[in-house]
């Protein structure tokens, strides 16, 4: 590690597992671990996070005093000023003081943000959006979230809730969303929503070609099977895919017209779909977005891919240090 480098410990908290990673401020991942979080009490998990943090330092030849900071990316609901989380998909976790617990036990400052903001920071510092001053990252997995960089800073909003881009309403008469609204972007294109829709529409048809692709398993209906059915030119799949691409373009067009970003980076679904998704989305975008916005914007797939969880917590800490004037953006170093 360079003399002016910083050693950062990051945690990416998820409903089934937590990624713990030790890395440097120049984007090198030194070591990582996985912690099971599903069906476990917060006390047990927090204890293991601390133990694994110390183990990562020791196993890679560092002293505890070498650590600069800790960063944590976590799902909501959360109270960012207080550093507590109560994730919907982790039933035993209610107002858990994850930030302050880790800071106290490890003796360094901890920084804390939601997982979508952590994702945009990772893509901004070390991924597809490196060097951008205006950037949007969309998590596209079970649900849809977003992180926004404007004029070289993360947008957090008055209530630290900015970036809930999956819950922009595309049609108030549309499908019910888990958030309570109707017709959200996530309700049209999120992984859970697509899976639920396929179960309703074809799950009871064992002879349907897509059910055969799923080997008769209703629970396997979702994006992976749908993509293969699109490649196979199944009529149902082609129609659904076309609707998904149209709705993605509608949402992305809204974001482009609102923020005029240099780049919008798309997450997991786009990573696995690539041109199958990107090409039709790009064809539909002029219906929803000014040409001036399109000319200024690049639409890309995540560069960090499945490794984004290793970077996200680290980048939350780096952003905290950046905003405090204690770290310089990689592309601005002389």
DSSP of 199-218: HHHHTT-TTSHHHHHTTT-G
- Identify the pLDDT of residue 245: 98
The CA distances from residue 329 to 150, 163, 333, in Å, are 15, 22, 7
- Identify the pLDDT of residue 4: 57
The CA distances from residue 11 to 22, 113, 118, 252, in Å, are 9, 11, 10, 29
**Stretches in the chain below the pLDDT threshold 50:** 2-3
How far the first Cα of the chain sits from its last, in Å, is 18
- Identify the pLDDT of residue 185: 97
Give the whole-angstrom CA distance, residue 315 versus residue 120.
9
**Cβ within 8 Å of residue 331, ≥6 positions away:** 130, 131
Closest CA to 73 of 137, 135, 134: 137
Residue 182 pairs in a beta bridge with 176
- Identify the pLDDT of residue 6: 94
- Identify the pLDDT of residue 63: 96
Per-residue pLDDT tens digits for 191-221: 999 999 999 999 999 999 999 999 999 999 9
Q: What is the dihedral of CA 77, 83, 84, 85, to 10 degrees?
A: 40
pTM: 0.94
Q: Burial level of 184, CB count in 10 A (0-12/13-18/19+)?
A: buried
Q: Helices 235-259 and 275-284: crossing angle, nearest 10°?
A: 60
Q: What are the structural domains, with CATH classification, of the chain?
A: 7-121+306-332 (3.30.420.40), 131-303 (3.30.420.40)
**Residue 37 near residue 18, CB atoms below 8 Å:** yes
């Amino acid at each position: 590690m360079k003399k002016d480098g910083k050693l950062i410990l990051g945690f990416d908290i998820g409903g089934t597992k937590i990624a713990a990673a030790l890395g440097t401020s120049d984007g090198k991942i030194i070591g990582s671990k996985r912690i099971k979080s599903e069906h476990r009490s917060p006390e047990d998990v927090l204890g293991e996070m601390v133990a694994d943090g110390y183990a990562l330092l020791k196993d890679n030849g560092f002293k505890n005093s070498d650590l600069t900071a800790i960063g944590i990316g976590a799902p909501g609901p959360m109270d960012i000023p207080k550093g507590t989380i109560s994730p919907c998909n982790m039933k035993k976790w209610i107002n858990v003081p994850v930030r302050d617990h880790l800071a106290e036990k490890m003796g360094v400052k901890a920084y804390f943000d939601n997982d979508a903001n952590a994702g945009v920071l990772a893509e901004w510092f070390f991924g597809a959006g490196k060097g951008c001053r205006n950037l949007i990252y969309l998590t596209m997995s079970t649900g849809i979230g977003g992180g926004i960089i404007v004029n070289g800073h993360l947008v957090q909003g008055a209530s630290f809730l900015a970036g809930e881009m999956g819950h922009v309403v595309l049609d108030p008469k549309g499908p019910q969303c888990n958030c309570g609204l109707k017709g959200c972007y996530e309700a049209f294109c999120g992984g859970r929503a697509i899976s639920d829709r396929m179960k309703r529409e074809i799950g009871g048809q064992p002879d349907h070609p897509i059910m055969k692709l799923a080997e008769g398993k209703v629970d396997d209906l979702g994006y992976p099977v749908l993509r293969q059915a699109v490649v196979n030119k199944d009529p149902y799949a082609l129609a659904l895919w076309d609707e998904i691409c149209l709705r993605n373009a509608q949402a992305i067009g809204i974001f482009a017209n609102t923020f005029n970003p240099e780049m919008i980076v798309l997450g997991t679904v786009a990573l696995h779909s690539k041109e199958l998704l990107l090409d039709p989305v790009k064809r539909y975008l002029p219906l929803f977005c000014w040409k001036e916005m399109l000319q200024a914007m690049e639409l890309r797939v995540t560069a960090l891919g499945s490794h984004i969880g290793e970077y996200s917590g680290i980048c939350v800490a780096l952003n905290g240090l950046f905003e405090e004037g204690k770290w310089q953006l990689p592309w601005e170093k002389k």
